[in-house]
Amino acid sequence: MNLPRRVRPLEHNLSMQSSPGTADVHQIELHENRGHRESENVIQLVTKRPVSGNLTTAKVYPISDNTDPIDLEPEGHGFCGYFLIALAVLMYIFLFPILVLFSFKVIQSYERGVMLRLGKLRKHKGSAIMSSGIQFVLPCVDTIQKVDMRTISEVIPPQEVLTRDSVTVTVDAIVYMRVIEPASAILRVANWLQSTGLLAVSTLRSVLGHYDLAALLTNREEIDTYLKKSLEAATREWGIKVERVEIKDVALPQDMQRAMAAEAQATRAACAKVIAAKGELDSAHMLQQAAQTMSGSPAALQLRYLQTLATIATEQNSTIIFPLPIELMSALTSRNK
């Protein structure tokens, strides 16, 4: 296998904790080994639960990144940097009445600020994150990036997904997320909201492709859990926490809806016929038992005869029936024998 430069193979054992034989998605979680000037970006593998066995082996190729990693720890500015800072301070002193209007920034209670001084992260009061309130900045030197810390909902537009049993469905979902590390959200990704939304779209299509239509319609909670775990593994480095992923709707094609409706109707009709046939069978058994009981008891037969006469008398019929005495019927029956 020809691997690109700066790629080395690495084998990992994946333990399938769930029961075999059903569709599932697993994700490899690898810990980054960061040196002083080196980091690794790991390719994540999404696999399907095997039909048999509880252990499988997959090859993962971590790509070494030789570029300088983003350092979230504040660093010094060097001689030129400190010279520019001193020059900015002198300019601020001489132009105080004018620059004082641009020296204070307001950070809301639901926001946090990340201050960059000459393009480098600056530690403010022992922390690289600025809390809410009025904050002082040095004009022309300091810039503040505000980050909203509230939970944000991102709606995934309807996506056409091909299920494992080759059925095309349209699925839309919603992702709830929030920033937990403002410095990472600013420095590690250009637009964390847009990037997370695009990642959610690709993850949704990848995960749902491992399920058949029946599982997609019934196992919503299980699928939501796998989507959340997959997104969290990818957005953790950006300082984003995915709180919840929910599939809003699964739309089927019209012909598939008609086919499923016809199948459900046929199933209900078959169940109704089975229930009716079972009722007739039970009724026949009960009538047979009643006939056997009456044939062995003349008193029971006489009572049934009187009940039948009473029923005929109460009904408004145009036919007049003259019943024969039951003793006469018994005499005729014994004579024929």
Higher pLDDT, 109 or 308: 109
The fold of the 152-260 domain, in CATH, is Tetrahydropterin Synthase; Chain A (3.30.479)
SS3 per-residue string spanning the chain: CCCCCCECCEEEEEECCCCCCCCCCEECCCCCCCCCCCEEECCCCEECCCCCCCEEEEEECCEEECCCCCCCCCCCCHHHHHHHHHHHHHHHHHCHHHHHHHCEEEECCCEEEEEEECCEECCECCECEECCEEEECCCCCEEEEEEECCCEEEEEEEEEEECCCCCEEEEEEEEEEEECCHHHHHHCCCCHHHHHHHHHHHHHHHHHCCCCHHHHHHCHHHHHHHHHHHHHHHHHHHCEEEEEEEEEEEECCHHHHHHHHHHHHHHHHHHHHHHHHHHHHHHHHHHHHHHHHHHCCHHHHHHHHHHHHHHHHHCCCCCCCCCCCHHHHHHHHHHHC
CB 224 within 8 A of CB 175: no
* pTM for this prediction: 0.55
Please give the average per-residue pLDDT across 164-170, as a whole number: 86
What pLDDT digit, counting tens, does each position of 52-108 carry?
333 333 333 343 344 445 555 555 566 676 667 777 777 777 777 777 777 788 888
Whether residue 326 has pLDDT greater than 90: no
Examine the pLDDT at 242 and tell me if it is beyond 50.
yes
pLDDT one-digit tens code per residue, 267-323: 788 888 888 888 888 888 887 787 777 777 777 767 777 777 677 666 666 665 656
List pLDDT tens digits, range 20-52: 444 444 443 444 444 333 334 444 444 444 433
pLDDT score, position 10: 38
- Biggest CA–CA distance in the chain, Å, is 141
pLDDT above 50: residue 164: yes
- Which residues does 253 contact at the CB level (< 8 Å), separation at least 6? 168, 169
Return the pLDDT at 276.
Answer: 83
Mean pLDDT of the chain: 72
Can you give the pLDDT at residue 174?
A: 93
Boundaries of every domain in the chain:
9-68, 78-148, 152-260
